[in-house]
Chains A and B, each alone.
Chain A
Amino acid sequence: MRLELVPRASVSPIARALSPLVAIVLAGLMAGLVIALMGRSPLAAFDIYIREPLGDSWALQEMGMKMIPLTLIATGLVYCFRANLWNIGAEGQYTMGAIVGSILPLATQGMELGRWLLVIALIMGVIGGAVYALIPSYLKVRLGVSEILSSLMLVYIAQLVLDYLVRGPWRDPKGFNFPQSVMFDAGSTLPVLFGDGRLHAGLILAIVAVVVSTVVLGWSLFGYAIKVIGSAPKAAGFSGFSAARISLMVFAISGGLAGLAGIVEVSGQIGQLKPSISAGYGFTAITVAFLGRLHPLGVVFGAFVVSLTAIGGENAQIMLKLPLDLTTCFQGLLLLSVLAADALTSSSIRVVRTPKKEA
């Protein structure tokens, strides 16, 4: 006996819309059960994890700050994943974007060159990430190298390059030997959005990326080609799309957005280069992309949930003595629930009793 997923002939749009909500509720119930088993009150946990961060301006801004890089990177990853190309190296492209984007602000530090420098820095960040992402893509297209491995390994190379730079040539001479660069000038720093808050203009870039990607992926021929290549490469050839060209393009977009996230994070929040510019955003964004069901608008939701639970998790650690790993665990539960709900919306389960093969 085995189980088979049979595609449903028609899926009601209501079921499709409700499925993530069902998934959240299910994941919440399961997490509550785990918390109860650990001897804490699930209700108190809910309060600290979800309700409190949402009612607090500081926490909301912190969430927004986490959402910016996650949304940018995950939106880029959606292009790759839809094309069935597995860019696991967004973390490296993020790092490379931060490095390349920092070249000018660091070189001109102290000159107070003005706003145009920021624009160039952002563009260079995009280019840095895009070119770095083209390495695994080119290797795949020309030589058939698995992009999963090469993009992942390039992460470590990028991190080591960053490490070398901030300990060597780019180290701040007045930095007490800490591995970090000098601080960016005000001109090359992303402006803050609200008064004395911390939320910076990167938010606008993220929103633009999401809106543009929604249109491109949903209605353009390019977005259509990505989908065809991802689900049936031979049909893409039949349709006249070049798999190689599209593969290079989605990697460039994905890497570009990751690179943008990198320089945005450095110039918007950190203000200098140091080894710890990422909180693993490039990897977390993979979860975010799938939580968002590979849709740019879904990505916003995914980034929201992940950021919320991350902030809430920190609070829960302090107030309920719950381990931080529980947050990761919850994010995992949520991802599984979303994917399962998605699969069950578009397919039904059939029990097959005898081994059977198509003729």
Chain B
Amino acid sequence: MEADETSIPAADSARQSQMLATIEAGLSEESVQKSGLLVQMTGITKRFGAFTANDGISLGVERGQIHALLGENGAGKSTLMKILNGLLRPDEGEIVWNGETVQFKSPQDAAKLGISMVFQHFSLFENMSVLENIAVALPGSIRQNGFNLGKLSKRIEEVGEAYGLALSPQRPVYSLSAGERQRIEIIRALLRDPKLLVLDEPTSVLTPQEADALFVTLEQLARKGCGLLYISHKLDEVQRLCSKATILRGGKLVGECDPRSENVRSLAAMMVGTHVPEVRSQALHKIGDVRLEVEALTLPAPDMHAKSLNHIMLSVHGGEVLGIAGIAGNGQSELFAALSGEALAPQARTILIDTMPVGQLDIESRRALGAAFIPEQRLGHGAVPGMALSDNLVLSRHGTDRLDRYGMVNFRRARRLSDEVVSKFDVRVSGKNPPAGSLSGGNLQKFVVGREILARPGVLVVDQPTWGVDAGAAVAIRQALINLAAQGAAVLVISQDLDELFSISDRIAVLHEGSLSAALPTGQVTRETIGLMMAGSEVDDAA
């Protein structure tokens, strides 16, 4: 592609400069008011099967307002934003835009009204320049007439300067930092002349300095009358930036407030909740010896999207459930892989199972020592979707259940064992031995959990045991974990769900940025403390 100034008809060219001028004027043309209600979502409900992701949520954003949408992972923020962006249609509820009820059939409908999104994950072509990446995503209305790379390049520089988003249009994307890549996404959004800009955890990949620069830009946009919806769980940012916050938990609206008049503790409390939905069965059982121990585990990140683990220390006793809290992407999968043996530790003595050094052993050797593992992803990691349940049983138990004789698999025995899992863990299946992929999330998770628990492990490591699972199955799974511990096993639960951790753990530690805090007895910490630690705040008076 090449800039070709002469081929542009004068009229189109004029039209484009006018349009871009509107952008530069910062949305302050006569049609754009600087205050007043911009969008109101009322009673939004969205269900996925039996799971209600959004339950009667209302949310209003005013012009010139930076509005925070707070909530833990799985609280329903993304679903709500996908509805606002036209990616999903609500089952109930309405969206009023500038006083008019609107229905989005597609993201294009939302874009036409001026709703722009900046996603957490970038969609950029690595080998193309900044300019090309922006050009390729421009809406047809800008592109069809008077499209001109030379002018676009100039506009990018101008808009960049006006909003402090310095970017050289000719640079190839692969040479840019995460912060610079995000600027591309924001400039893309700005060129669409947005009335409402939605940012989904924009600082999660930024350095503190880059984040500061972003805040200046966002405040500038707000002053010019653009409404901003800022999704985050970083409370200090929200306090600094936002004048209003809507808080979701478990798909429900739990509150609205002005974050500036709250403190971080009260916000965290609203976010993570204070009610305890299920009480631990306090059957008396002995806490035994240490069965799983991690000694100063440090692992570099295997790739650029992963987290490194820094000096992880932990120990789990027999009869005990250790909970590891933390927001997704803070090293949970990496820690799980290191514990399971899917990633090997640098030294054998770094990880001990029943005092045996296992850091250099693979997953099957660790299973042979009595460990069992339940990964976060059910489909494709913990189970093969296309394979029948009995074949999926073989997956983790071929070495430990005499299923493998002279290299041949005893599929009949596997079938018996899998039927045992199905009946003991109340896995609802259609058909007799259906493929794993045909089960609902909750039922498949019950199968995977049951498969590992019926192997009678001495050590169980489980990552997000009830992620995306309906409430009934979640209770059953938690109960099974507690019961396993009561029988003397060491259970390590990695979870983002604080309610879950508080209801089943004896001690809780927090994983943040690949580092693990000391484990605190569950009775001696509050949700607020843990919530703050999850959000990365330093808590000195932990109690």
Interface residues of A (CB under 8 A from B): 7-10, 219-222, 224, 227-228, 231-232, 234-235, 237-240, 354-359
Contact = CB atoms under 8 A, between A and B. Distances in A.
Contacts of B434: 9-10
Interface string B355-368: 00000001110010
A354 B82 contact: no
Interface string B382-393: 111111000100
Nearest to A239: B395
A157 B307 CA distance: 43
B377 A357 contact: no
Given A10-B432, A357-B87, A234 B381 contact: yes
Interface in B327-349: 340, 342
B88 interface: yes
Contacts of A219: 408-409, 411
A238 B82 contact: no
A227 B394 CA distance: 12
Nearest to B106: A355
Nearest to B51: A359
Nearest to B410: A219
Given A231-B384, A237-B342, A358-B48, A220 B377 contact: no
28 contacts: A7-B385, A7-B435, A9-B434, A9-B438, A10-B430, A10-B431, A10-B434, A221-B407, A221-B409, A224-B394, A224-B409, A228-B384, A228-B387, A231-B384, A231-B386, A232-B384, A232-B385, A234-B377, A235-B380, A235-B382, A237-B363, A238-B373, A238-B375, A238-B381, A238-B382, A239-B398, A355-B106, A359-B53
B399 interface: yes
B308 interface: no
B341 to A, nearest CB: 8
Contacts of B105: 354-355
B188 interface: no
B194 to A, nearest CB: 22
Q: How large is the interface on B (under 10, 10 to 19, 20 to 34, 35 or more residues)?
A: 35 or more
Contacts of B438: 7-9
A173 B101 CA distance: 90
Contacts of A240: 362-364, 367, 399
Contacts, number: 97
A8 B387 CA distance: 12
Given A9-B429, A238-B373, 5 more contacts: A221-B408, A224-B394, A231-B387, A240-B364, A356-B89
Contacts of B78: 359
A162 to B, nearest CB: 37
Most chain B CB inside 10 Å of its own CB: which residue of A220, A228, A238, A354: A238
Q: Return the 8 tightest CB-CB contacts between A and B, nearest first.
A: A10-B431, A240-B364, A9-B430, A9-B438, A234-B381, A232-B384, A232-B380, A359-B79
B404 interface: yes
A232 B377 CA distance: 12
Contacts of B362: 240
B71 to A, nearest CB: 13
B265 to A, nearest CB: 30
B435 A238 contact: no
B396 interface: yes
B437 interface: yes
A14 B387 CA distance: 19
Contacts of A7: 385-386, 435, 437-438
B46 interface: yes
A169 B376 CA distance: 61
B407 A220 contact: yes
Contact of A354 (B89, B342, B407, B432): B89
Interface of B: 46, 48, 53, 78-79, 82, 87-89, 105-106, 340, 342, 362-364, 367, 373, 375, 377, 379-387, 391, 394-396, 398-399, 404, 407-409, 411, 429-432, 434-435, 437-438
B459 to A, nearest CB: 16
A221 B404 CA distance: 7
Contacts of B87: 355, 357
A232 B375 CA distance: 14
A235 B395 contact: yes
A10 B434 CA distance: 6
Contact of A231 (B82, B385, B409, B430): B385
Most chain B CB inside 10 Å of its own CB: which residue of A10, A222, A356: A10
Nearest to B340: A238
Contacts of B382: 235, 238
A356 B408 CA distance: 44
A224 B387 CA distance: 10
Contacts of B430: 9-10
Contacts of B437: 7
A314 B198 CA distance: 67
A357 B83 CA distance: 10
Contacts of B383: 235
Most chain B CB inside 10 Å of its own CB: which residue of A9, A220, A232, A357: A232
Most chain A CB inside 10 Å of its own CB: which residue of B362, B384, B386, B387: B384
A231 B362 CA distance: 21
B386 to A, nearest CB: 5
Nearest to B74: A359
B431 A227 contact: no
A341 B362 CA distance: 41
B96 to A, nearest CB: 21
Nearest to A240: B364
Nearest to A10: B431
Contacts of B375: 234, 238
A240 B106 CA distance: 44
Contacts of B396: 238-239
Contacts of A234: 375, 377, 380-381
Given A9-B434, A9-B438, A238 B342 contact: yes
A234 B375 CA distance: 10
A7 B437 CA distance: 8
B390 to A, nearest CB: 11
A98 B69 CA distance: 68
Contacts of B373: 238
B51 to A, nearest CB: 8
Contact of A9 (B380, B394, B411, B431): B431
A339 to B, nearest CB: 16
Contacts of A232: 379-381, 384-385
Most chain A CB inside 10 Å of its own CB: which residue of B53, B88, B373: B88
Contacts of A228: 384, 387, 395
Contacts of A227: 384, 387, 391
Contacts of A221: 398, 404, 407-409
A220 B405 CA distance: 9
A238 B387 contact: no
A234 B79 CA distance: 27
A237 B46 CA distance: 36
Contacts of B395: 228, 235, 238-239
A228 B404 CA distance: 16
A232 B391 CA distance: 13
Contacts of B408: 219-221
Contacts of A355: 87, 105-106
A222 B342 contact: no
